[in-house]
Amino acid sequence: MTLVLRGANVIDVEARRTLRGRSVLVDGGVIVAVAGTEGFDDLGDAEFVDCGGAYLLPGLMDVHVHLRPTPHVGPSSNRRHPPADDRPVPQPVDVLPQLHSYLYCGVTSVFDAGNYSSFIWPLRDAERSGQLVSPRIFCAGPFVTCTGGHGSEQLEAVEVDELPRDLRQLRSHLDRRPDLVKITYDEHGWGIRPLIPILSPRTLRGIVDAAHADELRVTVHASHELRVREAVEGGTDTLAHPVIQSPITEELVSVLAARRLPVVSTLAIGERYVRLAEDPSFLDGEHYAACVDPAERRRLATVEHAEQKQNRWAAWMRVMTPVAQENLRRLVAAGGVVASGTDLSLGPELLRELELLQDAGIEPWDVLACATVHAARFLGADGRMGTVEPGKLADFVLVDEDPTTDVSRLAEVSMVMKGGQVIDRSTLHLAGEQPPRPDVRVPSPLSA
């Protein structure tokens, strides 16, 4: 289908400029051209969308999620969780409200950074074959770690203790073609977490080399500077988190910036404990009300609020989230690449992530880059996603107010497009109380 978006203020994130009164020609799900206000009027067979002077930018991306039908419940000093093997594996239909919450909030791509094989591979296949109304799904599949390593207590893991001895199970995992191979490299011993096993640097390097031999990218979970340095020296392509345990050195800032190695922000997960403990009224906001089941909102505002007030992990994250924010601000100031990710599984959390980056002192233009072009770089997809220019996928979000001066304006979504098809937001299967949405003139909407 040939489509013309007319009368848009196009946000050029890379050039840090707004192209006012533009028309964008889309054909076959790809951007063909961007022209002036009167461009493409002679295309008689095209469908036209009047953007009415709203702001058009690339679809937002959350490049660290863990799709699940239930809310994230992380470390707590007051309760125990069942082992990973005892937890029910979700089905694709179970996460439809979560997937639609992303589209509702203007998020057109997500990267699942660790999940069950029997769940995530079919889910990715369903999205890519068009069977599922969903943001684009990129995924790591299960974690790769050592026996008893980080994440293996929560989700399925590919356990590699020594190479070449354990090459068979690694080889089986790589053959599934994860979009990035996720390695966890963290021995804990901080916050309320006891020490656990960790990969040796030699085995870490062997896993990275095996992935690269298969032309697969790698992301590494690490939480403090020593392990981040070892991951970088081991050849990782990206980092799944910033350093959170302490301020990083100028030397590490320089190394990451010089290599343009993408670092995912993941601020929202830690700050969420604090918000629930101190003031859960954020759950009454429009996006949470639309995307979270009313009974679950009541539980979060009462039971979980009381739980987090007593949780020593929440107290720890109250201290450490500002440290991570400052580490990210310094990295951006040095010219480094920060990509937006929440470590959660709900669309409104990505909007919160961007606010936290802005609150860290990062300029709105740079925050927008985190959610678009830098997120695409993290995925290794910056050649086909992340900017509004010819040859890129037609994934867009249209917002009413200018987000280049305040990223909180991204919440005012008036249209979402994925692959050249407008998402009919009125038909999305959301878990919460769906408010009436303003009418937007759209051609042939993709319904849920």
Q: What is the per-residue pLDDT for 440?
A: 43
d(CA 381, CA 404) in angstroms, rounded, equals: 23
CATH superfamily for domain 60-379: Metal-dependent hydrolases (3.20.20.140)
Predicted TM-score (pTM) of this structure? 0.95
Every domain of the chain and the residues it spans: 2-58+387-427, 60-379
How far is the CA of 23 from the CAs of 34, 86, 156, 385, in angstroms? 6, 53, 47, 19
Residues ≥6 apart with Cβ < 8 Å to 140: 111, 112, 113, 114, 115, 178, 179, 180, 181, 182, 219
Q: What is the per-residue pLDDT for 290?
A: 96
Cα–Cα nearest to 155, from 379, 348, 376, 343: 343
Q: What is the per-residue pLDDT for 76?
A: 74
d(CA 333, CA 363) in angstroms, rounded, equals: 10
DSSP 88-123: PPP-GGGGHHHHHHHHHTTEEEEEE-S--HHHHHHH
At residue 290, the 3 state secondary structure works out as: helix
Q: What is the per-residue pLDDT for 196?
A: 96
Cα–Cα nearest to 109, from 341, 271, 289, 293: 341
Q: What is the per-residue pLDDT for 205?
A: 98
Q: What is the per-residue pLDDT for 378?
A: 98
Q: Is the Cβ–Cβ distance between 388 and 34 less than 8 Å?
A: yes
Cα–Cα nearest to 330, from 303, 300, 357: 357
Q: What is the per-residue pLDDT for 174?
A: 98
d(CA 32, CA 214) in angstroms, rounded, equals: 32
Q: What is the per-residue pLDDT for 164?
A: 96
Q: What is the per-residue pLDDT for 437?
A: 52
- Tens of pLDDT along the chain (448 residues)? 899 999 999 999 999 999 999 999 999 999 999 998 777 877 878 899 999 999 999 999 999 999 998 766 677 767 665 555 666 788 888 899 999 999 999 999 999 999 999 999 999 999 999 999 999 999 999 999 999 999 998 889 999 999 999 999 999 999 999 999 999 999 999 888 899 999 999 999 999 999 999 999 999 999 999 999 999 999 999 999 999 999 999 999 999 999 999 999 999 999 999 999 999 999 999 999 999 999 999 999 999 999 999 999 999 999 999 999 999 999 999 999 999 999 999 999 999 999 999 999 999 999 999 999 999 999 999 999 999 999 999 999 999 999 999 999 999 999 999 999 999 999 999 999 765 454 443 444 343 3
Q: What is the per-residue pLDDT for 89?
A: 80
Written out in words, the top-level CATH class of the domain with range 2-58+387-427 is: mainly beta
At residue 410, the 3 state secondary structure works out as: helix
